[in-house]
Amino acid sequence: MSDHSSALSGEWTIHSIAQHRESVLPLLDMGTTEVDVSGITELDSAGLQLLLALQRGLARRGLELRLHPLSSSVREVLNLYGLDATLHPGAHEEQR
């Protein structure tokens, strides 16, 4: 597996999460670790669960998911759930 990068966009909410599930599965298969989420315009707990599933799948393969850059919607949800350091390593260094 290699260190691929990819970009995700659109609304990641309960209403559209089924279509995004189909876009996440290939990322797992390719071993994608760098994901640009600056195009995600809305994120709710369903979208967050899908990102966490990607993270867990990669972790089982010994890989670490890194979301960067973040849209304001993604940043807000990660902060709300206390996952900014988990899914966005280096977030604390960026704020300095």
6 confidence band (pLDDT: 50, 70, 90): very high
Helix (H, G, I), strand (E, B) or coil at 47: helix
Residue 94 has pLDDT above 50, yes or no: no
pTM for the full predicted model: 0.85
Provide Rg for the chain, Cα atoms. Answer: 12
Domains and CATH numbers, the chain: 4-94 (3.30.750.24)
Residue from 69, 87, 68 nearest 77 by CA: 87
1 confidence band (pLDDT: 50, 70, 90): very low
Residue 74 CA from chain centroid, whole number? 8
